Amino acid sequence: MTDLADIRAAFLDYFAEEGHAVVPSSPLVPRNDPTLLFANSGMVQFKNLFTGVETRDYARATSAQKCVRAGGKHNDLDNVGYTRRHHTFFEMLGNFSFGDYFKEEAIPYSWQLVTGKLGIDPSRLLVTVYHDDDEAAALWKKVAGLPDERIIRIATADNFWMMGPTGPCGPCSEIFFDHGEAYWGGPPGSPEEDGDRFVEIWNLVFMQFEQHEDGTRTPLPRPSIDTGMGIERVAALLQGTNDNYATDLMRALIEASAHATNTDPDGDGRTHHRVIADHIRSTSFLIADGVLPSKDGRGYVLRRIMRRAMRHAHLLGARDPLMYRLVPELVRQMGAAYPELGQAQALIEETLRGEEERFKTTLDRGLSLLDAEVAELGEGEPLSGEAAFKLYDTYGFPLDMTQDALREMGREVDLPGFGSAMDAQKAQARAAWAGTGEVGETALWFDLVEEHGATEFLGYDTEASEAAV
C-alpha cells in the first residue's frame, strides 16, 4: 500500500466509513473566489460552507484536491529544486467538518488513519499544537499516548490559521514524521526545522473563532474542522524515503526527462530533472483546467513555470522542445486518477510545444547575455536592474526565472534597479504615445497597470486574499 492510488483510496474510504461525503477535487481555477489564483488547499471549494453562506446536504466531507502553490501568499515555486518535499502541483487529502464534529473526533480520526490504516510507526511521529491550545495537547496525550516532548507547542502564525483578515480562524496542529538521524534537521520550532529529517505530513485546523474587523475574536457557535495531508509526502515515507522525488511517480517523470535528453537522471543534471518533473505536472494540470499561457494573471504564472522548466531543459542540453514529450508519461502515471489529463492531452502537448518553440530563440540569446553580464560582475555583486529588465522586456525572461538562474550562482537581482528600469520604460512609452489619440492595446495595458499595479500585472502576488490549510 504505497502508491498514490492506494493511499488516496485508503484515506477517502476511511472517512467515507466515518460518514463523510466523498467530494471530487474542484478545478485548479477556483469558481467561488476570483481573488485566489489557484486552489491551494482542500478547503478552498468549501469556503462558503465554513462561513455559513452556503449549506449542502452533508456536514462532513472528504476529498483529494489538486493544488497549485506557485503564486501569491502560498508560493512554493522557489522551493522546487531546493527541498525534497515541495512541489508546485500536489494533491491534498482532507477531511472537513462544517459545524459538525470538532477536535475530540478529528484528532482520533487522524491518529487512527495514520497509525492504523496507513500503518505508520507511531514512535516516528510527533505533533505540534498552538501554544495555548491545551485542549489539543491533552487530546494528543490521551489518544496517541504521546509524551510531552513529542507534543510541541508553537506560538507562531504557522500554527494559527486565518481564512482572511476577518472570518473563521483557529489553532492548527501538525503531524510530523521523523525520518531518522541519518538526515540533518531538527523538530518543528527548532532552528534546524527546515532540514530534511522532520517532515510535516498532515495539518489539522480547528476553526473555533471568528475574527472581526476591530481585531477581536469571538467563539464560533459551531466550530469546524479543515485538514490537509500531502499525498506525495506520505507516499515517500511509505516507500522508505524522505525525498518526494524518489517516489515511483516522480521517478518515472525524472526518467522520462533523462531519456528524452539522453542524460543521466542522477548525474550533474539531477536538479534540472527534478524541476522538470515538478513543472510538467503543474503546467499540464493547469492547461487541463483551462489556463493558457498569457501576459498576466493566471496565464502568466503558467508561462513563468513553463519558461523556468525550459531553462532547465536547456541546461540539460535540450535544443528542441522537451516538455511536450513528457506528457504521455504523465498521462500514464496520473491519467487514471485524473481523466481530464488524458482528455486534454493534445491541447497540453500543443500548448507546451508552441510555447517552447516561440521562446527558444530568445531563451538561447538571453542566456548568453546573462552569462556575459555575470562574467563582468564582481564577487557577490548583484545583476543590475537594467540587465534583468532587458532580459524581461526583450528576451521574455520572467523576473523570477532570472532570479532562479542567479540563485544557482549565489547571486541576486538588484530589485530596486529593476523597478526603476520598468518605470523608465513605462514613462518613455507613455511619452511616445501621447498625442496620438489612439486607443489601442498599449493604452489598455497602461490602464491595467494603473489599476492593478505593475507587480500584480507581472503576475506577482496576484491575490488580494488567499486562504490555505
Binding site for ligand ATP (CB under 6 A): 41, 69, 76, 85-87, 90, 92, 200-203, 228-230, 232-233, 468-469
In SS3 terms, 118-178 reads as: CCCCHHHEEEEEECCCHHHHHHHHHHHCCCHHHEEEECCHHHEEECCCCEEEEEEEEEEEE
Q: Are 187 and 199 in contact (CB under 8 A)?
A: no
Residue 5 has phi, psi (to 5 degrees) of -60, -40
Interacting partner of 7 out of ligand ATP, Mg ion, none (Cβ under 5 to 8 A depending on kind): none
Q: Which is nearer to ligand ATP, 4 or 316 (CB)?
A: 4
Q: Are 77 and 461 in contact (CB under 8 A)?
A: no
Alpha-carbon distance of 413 to 430, in angstroms, equals 26
Interacting partner of 87 out of Mg ion, ligand ATP, none (Cβ under 5 to 8 A depending on kind): ligand ATP
CB 193 to ligand ATP: min, Å: 9
Interacting partner of 201 out of ligand ATP, Mg ion, none (Cβ under 5 to 8 A depending on kind): ligand ATP
CB 201 to ligand ATP: min, Å: 5
CB 41 to ligand ATP: min, Å: 6
Q: Which is nearer to ligand ATP, 200 or 412 (CB)?
A: 200
Q: Are 108 and 136 in contact (CB under 8 A)?
A: no
Q: Which is nearer to ligand ATP, 227 or 263 (CB)?
A: 227
Interacting partner of 179 out of ligand ATP, Mg ion, none (Cβ under 5 to 8 A depending on kind): none
Q: Which is nearer to Mg ion, 65 or 203 (CB)?
A: 203
By CB atoms closer than 10 A (0-12, 13-18, 19+), residue 17 is: exposed
Site for Mg ion in 151-210 (CB under 5 A): 200, 203
Cβ-closest residue to ligand ATP?
A: 230
- Any idea how long the chain is? 469
**What is the DSSP code (8-state) at residue 244?**
G
Interacting partner of 324 out of Mg ion, ligand ATP, none (Cβ under 5 to 8 A depending on kind): none
Q: Which is nearer to ligand ATP, 140 or 392 (CB)?
A: 140
Q: Which is nearer to ligand ATP, 200 or 456 (CB)?
A: 200
Amino acid at 112: Q
CB 90 to ligand ATP: min, Å: 4
C-alpha cell at 18: 466515518
Residues facing residue 177 across a β-bridge: 125, 199
CB 199 to ligand ATP: min, Å: 7
Interacting partner of 243 out of ligand ATP, Mg ion, none (Cβ under 5 to 8 A depending on kind): none
Alpha-carbon distance of 236 to 241, in angstroms, equals 5
Residue 94 has phi, psi (to 5 degrees) of -150, 155
CB 349 to Mg ion: min, Å: 31
Amino acid at 385: G
Q: Which is nearer to ligand ATP, 146 or 421 (CB)?
A: 146
Q: Where do the H-state alpha helices sit in 248-296?
A: 248-261, 270-288
Matching residue, cell 488580494 = 464
Interacting partner of 312 out of Mg ion, ligand ATP, none (Cβ under 5 to 8 A depending on kind): none
Binding site for Mg ion (CB under 5 A): 200, 203
